[in-house]
Amino acid sequence: MSEFLNSCGEVLKEIYRLIYGGGYIGCGVAFVISVVMLNWGLRITGREETFTGSISFGIANLRRNPAIEGTAKNWFDRLTGYLMQLGDAILMTITFFAFASLLLVELSKQHR
């Protein structure tokens, strides 16, 4: 199990190095890929009914957003959609760290 986790950590480090090495363009490309993955995952699994709005003076103004029916027909399709959403969350987090690292390096160069 520890070998599997170590190899997963190495893969995540390599993805980070690839995004960081691409600079701001690499971060932009990774961000676009993660948004596309999220849209595909949501299209497969669907989305539950949500409510949006505001509350003021104890009165709630809520708007109902209807549920979106997914295209998943069986458990494997739903699993695929959820895994795509999980992959999106991981890629978005790595992209955020790479972008923050690029900004910090640039700021440190300006203060020298």
Q: Are 27 and 102 in contact (CB under 8 A)?
A: yes
Which are the contacts of 19, defined by CB distance < 8 A and separation ≥ 6? 26, 27, 30, 94, 95, 98
Q: What 3-state DSSP class applies to 111?
A: coil
* DSSP per-residue codes, 44-97: HH-B--EEEEEEETTEEEEEEE--B--S--SHHHHHHHHHHHHHHHHHHHHHHH
Containing structural domain, residue 24? 2-110
Q: In this model, does residue 89 exceed pLDDT 80?
A: yes
Q: What's the domain count of the chain? A: 1
Q: How many CB atoms lie within 10 A of CB 95?
A: 23
Share of the chain above pLDDT 90, in %: 51
pLDDT at 104: 94
How would residue 93 be classed by pLDDT, with cut points 50, 70 and 90? very high
pLDDT at 88: 93
Distance in angstroms (rounded) separating the CA atoms of residues 12 and 8 = 6
